[in-house]
Structure 1
Amino acid sequence: MTRTYLPGILAMAAVVVASNILVQFLFGNWLTWGAFTYPVAFLVTDVTNRVYGVGPARKVVLAGFVVGVICSLIGTQIMGEFGPLVTLRIALASGLAFLLAQLSDVAIFARLRGGKWWRAPLASTLIGSSLDTAIFFTVAFSGALSFIEPANDVSWAGEMLPLLGVGPISPLWVSLAVADWLVKLSLALLALVPFRLIVARLTSARPANA
């Protein structure tokens, strides 16, 4: 049975690896290129959930988590301009955000799967994405959690600036989080099209007794 949803596992692994690489490259003032690839993880999870069920979807999530941990371990050994590419806070934030957000997505999708076709993927992705952003940026950059890794100076993320350059004064990391969240929400809507097409393709290709 694992071979049946192996493409989902491989797709999730590819998304996680690509996002870990692309997060190193800036896109404008508030985003990295990884912000545009990572949300595809929710599409992979939701397609697996719709076609194969909750159990396989959780296995795909677990595979993505393991790949993410490996990427983080590799990142801690690569030195950038300001130190290791991945710090303890970044690794912890990334792992927690991915696992909790994706498992929430799976659970919410399962609860809503009996409704209109778009309801489960949209609601689960919106909620999961929001949770992902909140957990990652808070754990990684909030000054209140500096005790996690005292030697890691993230004071730059606390610089007080207008939100996204135009809003009320807030820490820089909040602007980064809001920009990331807006991208995720936009892609959650756009992902409904490939979700519908991929699910239809996979469902029609499955044997009747599968």
Structure 2
Amino acid sequence: MEFKSRLYLILAGIFIASLISANLIFQKFFTWSPFGLYTFELSVGILPYPITFLVTDLISELYGKKKADQVVVSGLVASVFVMGVVMLANVAPQTDWSPVDNETFSKVFGLFGPAVFASMIAYLAAQFIDIRVFHFWKRLTKGKHLWLRNNGSTIVSQLVDTSAVLILLCGSGTIEWIRFWPLLANGFLFKVLVALFDTPLFYLGVWALKDKIHEDPDEADWEKLSFKQEAI
């Protein structure tokens, strides 16, 4: 298998693993006070989720929009499959000696269905918006300014994702509406900060891999500029 295909599979694997782990661990919430300036109250599911946007931006840059869309669809299929497995496990009767009883398992995974349903709707909207905004900025800047398309696409899509999932969860009664604005502010601000911090990783990934990957044939000729030209 050539390097291009191996790398694509690795990136897709990281994307799907980050997405599914975020959906599995979301019910625990934590606080974080960076330098004592502000206290975030966030679901631990938010920790791996921003990685998915970094990966789709890398795939968009290295392979093109079509390959990025394929990874997003693959993530949806994997999430639906895992949701089915978890729901089946939740209704399976326990043995007398089971270390985890039905009540404990249901408490951890019982809300997995409605929460992931909300998350998947938000996920599809946000990821497809992220990919399209990324390529919009790439066309507009003629392949220059990596930082603009990386952060511009992620910030817009993260606002859509955070808003959509909270609206669906509050509307279904999973979370009280009184928590909507604090969670929206906390979640969106955290994701924006992560997007800014992962920009050097995006530059590093493109710099290290751009010359080793042949662009998708459906991309325009100007997209075949080297990283050095794009970063001007």
Identity of aligned residues (%): 26
CA RMSD, 1 decimal: 2.5
- Give structure 1 stretches of 5+ with no counterpart: 147-152, 159-170
CA distance, structure 2, for counterparts of residue 176 and residue 4 of structure 1: 35
Aligned residues: 187
Answering whether residue 41 of structure 2 is matched by residue 30 of structure 1, we say yes
Is 7-16 or 127-136 further displaced after alignment? Answer: 7-16
Q: In the TM superposition, what is the alpha-carbon distance from 1:7 to its structure 2 partner?
A: 1.6
2:163 is matched by which residue type in structure 1? A
User: The residue matched to 2:20 in structure 1 has which SS?
Assistant: helix
Answering whether residue 62 of structure 2 is matched by residue 51 of structure 1, we say yes
Map of 1:137 onto structure 2: 166
TM norm structure 2: 0.72
Q: 1:116 aligns with which of 123, 126, 145?
A: 145
Q: Flag as ranges the 4+ runs of structure 1 deviating above 4 A.
A: 1-4, 207-210
Cα pair distance change 1:124/1:92, threshold 3 Å: same
User: The residue matched to 1:115 in structure 2 has which SS?
Assistant: coil
Deviations 1:49-101 (A, max 9, x none): 0011111111111111222222333343434338713133x232111111110
Bigger helix share: 2
TM norm structure 1: 0.79
Q: In the TM superposition, what is the alpha-carbon distance from 1:177 to its structure 2 partner?
A: 2.4
Deviations 1:158-190 (A, max 9, x none): 3xxxxxxxxxxxx11332222111111111111
1:104 is matched by which residue type in structure 2? I
User: The residue matched to 1:87 in structure 2 has which SS?
Assistant: helix
- Map 1:145-184; keep pairs closer than 5 Å: 146=172, 153-154=173-174, 157-158=176-177, 171-184=178-191
Q: 1:64 aligns with which of 66, 75, 90?
A: 75
| Larger RCO (CA within 8 A; separation ≥ 6) | 2
Bigger-Rg structure (1/2): 2
